[in-house]
Structure 1
Amino acid sequence: MKKIKFTAGRVEEFACESGKSQSFLWDTASPGLGLRVTANGAKSYIFQGKLNGSTIRLTIGDPRTWDIAKAQAEARRLKVLIDNGQDPRKVKADALAAEKAARDAQEAAIAAEHDRRLRESVTLGDVWSEYIDDRIATREKGWSGHHIAAHRKIIQEGGQPRKRSPKPTKAGPLWSLSKLRLIDLTTERIEAWAKEEAKIRPSSARLAWRLLKAFMNWCASHKTYSSLVNTNPTKSARTRESLGKEKRRHDVLQREMLQSWFDAVRKIGNPVIAAYLQVLLLTGARREELAALKWTDVNFQWGSIKLSDKVEDFRMVPLTPFVAQLLTKLPRRNDYVFSSPTSKSGRIAEPRIAHNEAVAAAGLPKLTLHGLRRSFATLSEWIETPKGIAAQIQGHAPQGVREQNYIRRPLDLLRVWHVKIEAWILEQAQVDIPPLAAPLRVVAG
């Protein structure tokens, strides 16, 4: 072994011998310290010694980062370890393991402190908005604009001014729980809340309970909040009993009410709302999927309407003659068919008020917007419309093996019956249909 006293110049000049893959140069000042150079010119300080009769070799480092004095000091340290019967490799591994254990312990302590602070501070109201944003970001099926608005309204503070009423907004059913910490939302607390809310507004309380139940399930699977929600406190028989079952609504337009309803609705001062309500009845659509209708979803040439759907991504329904006439008369202010110059969204937001006033003026029983959807299903039976066809037009999930797996109705088949339904309803309402300037493509039935 070639031994010399290491100097900066000698270390710099040392090169690999020709024909070899690596060459070594050993220091006379520090036993075991060597300089290794490979055929491609890579250099490193090494240490070599004997432990229990076996030669061991360890890399110290690159001469560009280790000066000679530091390399010699490291070699002496390794020599002491070997002389004491210790394997430097094991000593290094133990030291690294100890450092890792110390880091892990520190991180665990930080996590425990964070968890403690989280448990002591995070409230239902804090996490609710995060929950909504997460569901919007993941585009979860079923989260329409109306559903998002319901989540925000159910926990609102109240006392805010309204646009169309001098009365301020009311606090949502979940507002009384919004300041509670998640860890304080126990089964007993939810049961007490349900008992009180059921006395004031049972329908809203039932909706709030369902939304809260889904929220708690989300928390239980969340990486941050799962430690705060061991079980879902909303799943209680007493809570369910307190809130009771939702009563089925029976509001519907019967045949003899059609003329009064159409007369009153067509007198509404806002032509967009008047058209929207008539189309809502004549298509049997859900209120929000029709309110969100865009001009690009209406095909006047082929007589079709594309509606966002609760069951599927979308569904195609016929554009019937009278509905087509209603739509052609609407102003094209923006992308939405039923537009509104005052609404933030650009489309009608609350046609219910005008509808309630029209129903009252006509002397008809209370009728909700969903009641118009119910009315379409009921009135379609007067002309013996096949149930599957009416259901498909309305966007109901197929029922039964035949509907689910075998029947695939084209749009023109739906049109045959939809045109008949519209014509019969308008006939009962004594509404005259002026001829179309450019007739739609309609299949005769």
Structure 2
Amino acid sequence: MSKQESRVRLTAGRVEAFTCPTDKPQAFLWDTEAPTLAVRATPTGRKTYVFESRLHGSTIRMTIGTLKDWPIERARLKAQGLKMLVDTGTDPREVEREKQAAAVEKKATAAAKVEAAKVAALTVGEVWGTYIAERRPFWGDLHYRDHIDKAKAGGLPSGRRGGGKQLTKPGPLAALMPLALKDLDQATIEAWAANEGKTRATSARLAWRLLTVFLTWCAEQPTYAALLPAKNPAKTKKAREALGKAGTKTDVLQREQLAAWFAAVQKIQNPVIAACLQMMLLTGARPGEVLALRWEDLNTQWKGIQIRDKVEGTREIPVTPYMLHLLAALPRRNEWVFSSPTSANGCLTEPNTPHTRACKAAGLGRLTLHGLRRSFASLTEWLEVPAGVVAQIQGHKPSATAEKHYKVRPLELLRVHHERIEAWILEQAGIVFDAQAEPGKLRAVS
């Protein structure tokens, strides 16, 4: 049937009764009132309104919509409007594509504005959490903990023995966490530094350094870069001066104080804490490195200890005879060498309080746990041990080209010097110890 023969005035009944023969892919029923309008049917029963006309000698056809969405009169008006475009030489398909593109662009612009508003509303704390999560694989445990502690809100039960109902204090960066990142400008940081520098300058200096690196990271992220000024707002002379300079720490055990210190530490009722403190002094390791030791790090066959190093990742140091003696007496409660049945993770936390009490009982001045590390390095001066040996045991970076590239000291060579250092320290402390005696066997407890 031709187009002329299949043309009728479209009505609801005629449209409803119109079907496509099963032997054809599609069939058309053309309207007499709007000659460019037709109902297209397929063998599946699907029916749509279509527009068809000729432009520049070619036939163009467009789908208007389904019968459900388009009443007949509305479809006629649409077809007539499309015909007017064709009569002016305009391709309605191009017009439709432009409309769709404009709609997509409008939608994208609106979505971008919404997203920009969300980003602009981000607080320092929210971005700080993202920053920590992304950088965590590249940090050591201590550095990660610093980021958590310096930004914590505080206000929780302290959990310390004898602390009663005391609540934890907010970290130095806690005041900045609720601020919008876009509001973290130079003046805000300088005011924060001036306030924190009055009460806890040492802690605030570390917090300021962490904040400075955080803002540098933000400036490198396309999502946050537009929220910050071109220059890092934390890097100002005023902020640095408000926090002051770190003083040189001089807390260290002198040779003549060794006897009093060992006597007081060995009287600590908790043998794990007593052994831990002695090991800090005898290895010169960082307190966190000693506390993080696991039994799997101890190699009794080759008498070495793998230490998780913040500089090189890991380093191996000798296990000297007296250290073996201390370790052999410790209980194996879990994977930690210096375990604690009362801590959340089963590992001993920094024993600052017991150490302070021991030093006070011994009549010594203030001596920090890191002061034990300084003490080890200082005491080796009496024996004129090569500086490179001491640095390798302590985990310091080599300070000379020869140390970096030419001197490789095996564990046995380090042992020669380390055992000599230990023997001399024990001698000065008045501790009688048989270095040839077999250490006691490690005992397991429930």
Give the TM-score normalised by the residue count of structure 2: 0.79
Shift of residue 384 of structure 1? 2.7
* Aligned match for 2:96, one of 72, 92, 99: 92
The C-alpha deviation readout for 1:19-53, integer Å capped at 9, x for no partner, is xxxxx97766556979899xxxxx9998764322x
Q: Which residue does 2:139 correspond to in 1?
A: 142
Q: Which residue does 1:40 correspond to in 2?
A: none
Distance 1:293 1:108 in 2: 50
Taking the TM superposition and a 5 Å limit, the aligned residue runs for 1:12-411 are 12-15=21-24, 49-52=53-56, 54-58=57-61, 60=63, 78-111=82-115, 113-114=117-118, 118=121, 123-124=123-124, 126-127=125-126, 131-132=128-129, 134-136=131-133, 138-145=135-142, 147-149=144-146, 151-153=148-150, 155-157=152-154, 160-166=157-163, 168=166, 169-222=168-221, 225-230=224-229, 231-411=231-411
Deviates more, 1:220-229 or 1:277-286: 220-229
Give the 3 Å change call, closer, same or farther, for CA 175–36 of structure 1 in structure 2.
closer
Deviates more, 1:308-317 or 1:79-88: 79-88
**RMSD of Structure 2 on Structure 1 (CA):** 3.8
Percent identical among aligned pairs is: 43
Distance 1:428 1:287 in 2: 23
The C-alpha deviation readout for 1:77-134, integer Å capped at 9, x for no partner, is 6555323321122112211122123313432443455456x1xxx554x43xx52464
Amino acid across the alignment from 2:136: R
Name the SS of the counterpart of 1:308 in structure 2: strand
Q: Are the equivalent residues in 1 in contact too, given 2:49–2:67 (CA < 8 A)?
A: no
Distance 2:48 2:182 in 1: 58
Amino acid across the alignment from 2:317: V
Shift of residue 288 of structure 1? 0.8
Q: Are the equivalent residues in 1 in contact too, given 2:308–2:314 (CA < 8 A)?
A: yes
Distance 2:18 2:369 in 1: 92
Distance 1:47 1:418 in 2: 93
Distance 1:243 1:409 in 2: 41
Name the SS of the counterpart of 2:310 in structure 1: coil
Q: Which residue does 1:5 correspond to in 2?
A: 6
Distance 2:172 2:347 in 1: 28
Q: Are the equivalent residues in 2 in contact too, given 1:48–1:55 (CA < 8 A)?
A: no
Shift of residue 258 of structure 1? 1.8
Q: Which residue does 2:11 correspond to in 1?
A: none
Q: Are the equivalent residues in 2 in contact too, given 1:306–1:316 (CA < 8 A)?
A: yes
Distance 1:114 1:233 in 2: 22
Shift of residue 165 of structure 1? 3.8
The C-alpha deviation readout for 1:321-355, integer Å capped at 9, x for no partner, is 21112111101111111000111121111311111
Q: Are the equivalent residues in 1 in contact too, given 2:18–2:29 (CA < 8 A)?
A: no
Q: Which residue does 1:21 correspond to in 2?
A: none
Amino acid across the alignment from 2:411: L
Q: Which residue does 2:415 correspond to in 1?
A: 415
Structure 2 gap ranges (5+): 8-14, 442-446
- Figure out how many residues of one structure are paired with residues of the other and give that number: 421
Distance 1:35 1:182 in 2: 58
Shift of residue 201 of structure 1? 2.7
Q: Are the equivalent residues in 1 in contact too, given 2:281–2:375 (CA < 8 A)?
A: yes
Name the SS of the counterpart of 1:364 in structure 2: coil
Distance 2:217 2:418 in 1: 42
Distance 1:388 1:58 in 2: 85
Name the SS of the counterpart of 2:331 in structure 1: coil
Q: Which residue does 1:19 correspond to in 2?
A: none
Shift of residue 140 of structure 1? 4.2
Shift of residue 137 of structure 1? 5.0
Distance 1:193 1:59 in 2: 65
Deviates more, 1:107-116 or 1:55-64: 55-64
Q: Are the equivalent residues in 1 in contact too, given 2:328–2:439 (CA < 8 A)?
A: no
Give the 3 Å change call, closer, same or farther, for CA 406–421 of structure 1 in structure 2.
same
Deviates more, 1:221-230 or 1:413-422: 221-230
Amino acid across the alignment from 2:393: I
Q: Are the equivalent residues in 2 in contact too, given 1:44–1:59 (CA < 8 A)?
A: no
Distance 1:15 1:272 in 2: 90
Distance 2:67 2:325 in 1: 85
Name the SS of the counterpart of 2:138 in structure 1: coil
Deviates more, 1:400-409 or 1:346-355: 400-409
Name the SS of the counterpart of 2:306 in structure 1: strand
Distance 1:409 1:14 in 2: 90
Structure 1 gap ranges (5+): 17-23, 38-42, 441-445
Give the TM-score normalised by the residue count of structure 1: 0.80
Amino acid across the alignment from 1:386: P
Amino acid across the alignment from 1:393: I
Distance 2:343 2:134 in 1: 24
Distance 1:290 1:278 in 2: 10
Shift of residue 141 of structure 1? 2.9
Q: Are the equivalent residues in 2 in contact too, given 1:158–1:172 (CA < 8 A)?
A: no
